[in-house]
Copies of this chain bind each other. A is one copy, B any other.
């Protein structure tokens, strides 16, 4: 990291003993990375870790590191004991060093670090703590497995990118809190020991000792509490809230995660969107020095699906979906014809330069398309220049020159491009081409990494049919208000009823979502009926919310932004684990503390609990014997 001082000759130490004595206590005078040339000639005290040491036979150079950066310290033989101490320093020892700050000689300047033109001539030094040889060096360039990094997180966090991520995260939360405070939001804490509600993703249970046999649950979000706060008249609520979800972890999910949680009364969708847009703009301006546009585009869910196949479109590149059903309905290609005839459709994307893909690559795309639910994937290469109508590939011969010309013009494809087609139910066409579009854009390098494309997706369907049970289910949660215009169709045609829901999408990633909530109990009752939730069940699960709606609920709505993902995107990190101080692995394990772990039998007995039906290899002495089966 630092320069080679070569044969530089250092001046003899100046006499500063008195000042030194005053300075030599635990108080640093400067952070390492903040030492500036203005301090040259002053005695400064650094506190930090030995980032590197080099003994040049006669002079020892030590880089001292703290959270702000690195500063070079020079130990010279004429300092006697101090020099000897310097010679004994090893990586990650904790030191306090004092001495005069001097300018480095010309050839010794390191332009890569902010303190590269200065160095401290050690006149006093203390070793606070010697370090054992560390499993890996925080300043090293070797590749360290993530498991090792997580196990020794206290070393990993000393790495510059991790330190910066935590500093950045602190600043993000500070800007958020300041912004919300300026806009009249009150930070209000909601309980973490919450009631078990068998809705949505699975929740963590917490056995109660005072009520044996009863359980709390950890909240998947403060949703109901923030609605209650609106009924309580708090008007504007915010919290950077910890939420919990006990499920097999998909990539980049954590069992506990953090969201900026907001709720406002007497607002409509546009108010929430305006407020959050303002917050995002402030974050980008203050933390990334990027000026975002005043407003972000609004796009209906339907448009997002039709054009991009997904409800969180990445608009940094084209390759939009094109419905060619009407063009190919009368073609000679049976697959296309049949799909349209049986009420499905045919959609295409034109992959720029995709004509160069090999047969092997095309086969791989087909395999992937099948994984996303397609029966197959048709491909056509566009030949020659735009004027020519030539297509090649296995199905080209089934398409008349007129149809070929129309497809070319409809998809906007040019010579050298590849058309990919899926003929299936609309939802399948969306899903398959939506996913392939993103995959190909990455593969072909079509994405400008320096773009921030924000987008609000609105007018989501309120409900969907559960494919396994056939029942109507809420797409968001059962408290989302339907669009006023669609409310009359709630019972007659619920799948066409849109919700007052909105998602904030950045570069194809959903970073937040929310809705205007139902504030009238009549509407809430109709929704519960639609969802097949009986009055008794509703009363059991949501009694307090239904009560709250009876006693004067204002119109209200809100949003939650995922902190981990937002910060990951802002820092362009590959994983949320890079922006969380102590993340868990995908199996939910904290490799540093080794949580979760078996507990003493006595602890379980005290809670009136027994572990039952474990797979035999999981049984340990500290668990009660199996008394039942989980089959």
Q: Hey, which bits of chain A sit against chain B, CB under 8 A?
A: 26-28, 47-49, 65-67, 92-94, 96, 128-129, 131-132, 134-135, 152-158, 163, 166-167, 169-170, 173-174, 177, 181, 186-196, 198, 202, 204-218, 224-225, 228-229, 231-235, 242, 244, 246-249, 255-256, 258, 265-268, 271, 519-520, 543-544, 547-555, 580-582, 584, 587-590, 592-600, 603-615, 618-620, 623-624, 627-628, 630
Cβ-defined contact, B587 with A210, below 8 A: yes
Residues of chain B within 8 A (CB-CB) of A231 are 154
Kindly identify which residue among B66, B94, B195 contacts A235, using a CB–CB cutoff of 8 Å. B66
Can you report 14 residue pairs joining A to B where beta carbons are below 8 Å apart?
A27-B271, A155-B232, A163-B233, A170-B188, A192-B256, A193-B204, A195-B590, A196-B595, A207-B207, A210-B249, A608-B611, A608-B614, A609-B610, A612-B627
Cβ-defined contact, A554 with B128, below 8 A: yes
Cβ-defined contact, B205 with A96, below 8 A: no
Q: Which 6 A-B pairs have the closest CB atoms?
A: A157-B232, A195-B595, A131-B552, A214-B596, A92-B552, A170-B186
Cβ-defined contact, A595 with B188, below 8 A: no
Cβ-defined contact, A233 with B49, below 8 A: yes
Kindly identify which residue among B211, B232, B614 contacts A589, using a CB–CB cutoff of 8 Å. B211
Kindly identify which residue among B129, B225, B553 contacts A129, using a CB–CB cutoff of 8 Å. B553
Cβ-defined contact, B129 with A587, below 8 A: no
How far apart are the CA atoms of A543 and B593 in the complex, in Å? 8
How far apart are the CA atoms of A41 and B255 in the complex, in Å? 56
Cβ-defined contact, B216 with A596, below 8 A: yes
Cβ distance A157 to chain B, nearest Cβ, rounded Å: 4
Cβ-defined contact, A232 with B128, below 8 A: no
Cβ-defined contact, A595 with B194, below 8 A: yes
- Look across to chain B and name the residue whose beta carbon is closest to the beta carbon of A224: B593
Cβ-defined contact, B598 with A213, below 8 A: yes
Residues of chain B within 8 A (CB-CB) of A65 are 233
- Look across to chain B and name the residue whose beta carbon is closest to the beta carbon of A581: B188
Cβ-defined contact, A242 with B610, below 8 A: no
How far apart are the CA atoms of A550 and B96 in the complex, in Å? 18
Residues of chain B within 8 A (CB-CB) of A134 are 551-552
Cβ-defined contact, A194 with B593, below 8 A: yes
Residues of chain B within 8 A (CB-CB) of A169 are 187-188
Cβ-defined contact, A157 with B229, below 8 A: yes
Cβ-defined contact, B548 with A154, below 8 A: yes
Cβ distance A338 to chain B, nearest Cβ, rounded Å: 43
Kindly identify which residue among B233, B258, B628 contacts A158, using a CB–CB cutoff of 8 Å. B233
Kindly identify which residue among B132, B547, B553 contacts A94, using a CB–CB cutoff of 8 Å. B553
Cβ-defined contact, B67 with A233, below 8 A: yes
Residues of chain B within 8 A (CB-CB) of A597 are 195-196, 214-215
Number of copies: 2
Cβ-defined contact, A266 with B96, below 8 A: yes
- Look across to chain B and name the residue whose beta carbon is closest to the beta carbon of A155: B551
Cβ-defined contact, B265 with A154, below 8 A: no
How far apart are the CA atoms of A211 and B217 in the complex, in Å? 18
Residues of chain B within 8 A (CB-CB) of A610 are 609-610, 612, 627-628
Kindly identify which residue among B206, B232, B619 contacts A205, using a CB–CB cutoff of 8 Å. B206
A-B contacts besides A544-B593, A610-B610, 19 pairs, CB < 8 Å:
A26-B267, A26-B555, A129-B554, A129-B555, A157-B232, A163-B234, A166-B188, A167-B186, A188-B581, A207-B207, A208-B588, A209-B247, A212-B611, A224-B593, A229-B581, A608-B614, A609-B612, A610-B628, A627-B627
Residues of chain B within 8 A (CB-CB) of A48 are 233
Q: A47-B554, A155-B551 are in contact. Are A234 and B166 (CB under 8 A)?
A: yes
How far apart are the CA atoms of A615 and B210 in the complex, in Å? 12
Residues of chain B within 8 A (CB-CB) of A167 are 186
- Look across to chain B and name the residue whose beta carbon is closest to the beta carbon of A207: B205
Cβ-defined contact, A242 with B170, below 8 A: no
Cβ distance A71 to chain B, nearest Cβ, rounded Å: 14
- Look across to chain B and name the residue whose beta carbon is closest to the beta carbon of A135: B551
Cβ-defined contact, B195 with A594, below 8 A: yes
- Look across to chain B and name the residue whose beta carbon is closest to the beta carbon of A131: B552
Cβ-defined contact, A599 with B215, below 8 A: yes
Residues of chain B within 8 A (CB-CB) of A623 are 213
- Look across to chain B and name the residue whose beta carbon is closest to the beta carbon of A26: B266
Cβ distance A109 to chain B, nearest Cβ, rounded Å: 26
How far apart are the CA atoms of A543 and B233 in the complex, in Å? 48
Kindly identify which residue among B205, B234, B594, B605 contacts A607, using a CB–CB cutoff of 8 Å. B205
How far apart are the CA atoms of A406 and B489 in the complex, in Å? 93
Q: Which of A163, A166, A248, A615 has the most CB of B within 10 A?
A: A166
Kindly identify which residue among B163, B266, B596 contacts A27, using a CB–CB cutoff of 8 Å. B266
Cβ distance A298 to chain B, nearest Cβ, rounded Å: 19
Cβ distance A301 to chain B, nearest Cβ, rounded Å: 24
Cβ-defined contact, A152 with B596, below 8 A: no
Residues of chain B within 8 A (CB-CB) of A211 are 587-589, 596
Cβ-defined contact, A611 with B213, below 8 A: yes
Cβ-defined contact, A173 with B187, below 8 A: yes
How far apart are the CA atoms of A157 and B233 in the complex, in Å? 8
Cβ distance A221 to chain B, nearest Cβ, rounded Å: 14
Cβ-defined contact, B552 with A232, below 8 A: no
How far apart are the CA atoms of A155 and B551 in the complex, in Å? 8
Q: Which of A554, A580, A613 has the most CB of B within 10 A?
A: A554
Residues of chain B within 8 A (CB-CB) of A66 are 233, 235
How far apart are the CA atoms of A170 and B181 in the complex, in Å? 9
Residues of chain B within 8 A (CB-CB) of A549 are 129
Residues of chain B within 8 A (CB-CB) of A217 are 595, 599
Cβ-defined contact, B213 with A619, below 8 A: yes
Q: A188-B581, A211-B596, A552-B92 are in contact. Are A624 and B628 (CB under 8 A)?
A: yes
Cβ-defined contact, B614 with A213, below 8 A: yes
Residues of chain B within 8 A (CB-CB) of A205 are 206-207, 599, 603-604, 607
How far apart are the CA atoms of A155 and B196 in the complex, in Å? 23
Q: A595-B193, A603-B196, A608-B611 are in contact. Are A209 and B218 (CB under 8 A)?
A: no
